[in-house]
Amino acid sequence: MAKSRKNFYAIRLFDEKKDLIIDNWPQAKELTDRRPHILHGFATKEEAQKWLDSITPQEEARRIACAEKGMKAKKEKANYKKYSIQLPSDVAGVLDSLCSKWNKNASAILEDLIRTEYMSEE
């Protein structure tokens, strides 16, 4: 079965309380980037408008909550720096056993160690 082409993008912008129907993806992406929204692609403008009209207040509230949760998670993730390390097998074995014993992942154990050993001195 051939994939149906999305020619129109129905957008509800929560921060401006505005509905839009856009006929090209780059513009739709630009309008929704880093903003709370819902977006869906359709083959026709009529289908897009029908979908926007069908969004109930309860559905909108649920989607706003999801969008806010997602944006909060992105902001929190931005406060972290990712490291990749290699450990000797014996050290990795100790870390693995601590993970099992304390029911934590390796990142949490290393973070606790650094906070306890180095950040408490400040």
How far is it, in rounded angstroms, from Cα 102 to Cα 105? 9
**What is the value of pTM for the model shown?**
0.55
pLDDT digit string, tens, across residues 30-88: 998 888 888 999 999 999 999 999 988 888 888 888 877 877 777 777 777 788 889 89
Q: What's the whole-number mean pLDDT along residues 9-28?
A: 91
> Are 68 and 42 members of one domain?
yes
Q: Which residue has the tokens 């180095």?
A: 118
- Asked if the structure places residue 83 within a domain, the reply is no
Residue-range definition of the domain harbouring residue 105: 89-119
> Are 55 and 105 members of one domain?
no
Count of structural domains within the chain = 2
Report the pLDDT value the prediction gives residue 3, as an integer from 0 to 100.
56
Token pair of 89 as six digits: 């097998």
In three-state form (DSSP H/G/I as H, E/B as E, the rest C), the secondary structure along the chain is: CCCCCCCEEEEEECCCCEEEEECCHHHHHHHHCCCCEEEEEECCHHHHHHHHHHCCHHHHHHHHHHHHHHHHHHHHHHCCCCCCCCCCHHHHHHHHHHHHHHCCCHHHHHHHHHHHHHHCCC
> Are 60 and 107 members of one domain?
no
How far is it, in rounded angstroms, from Cα 100 to Cα 111? 16
pLDDT digit string, tens, across residues 74-115: 777 777 778 888 989 999 999 999 999 999 998 888 888 888
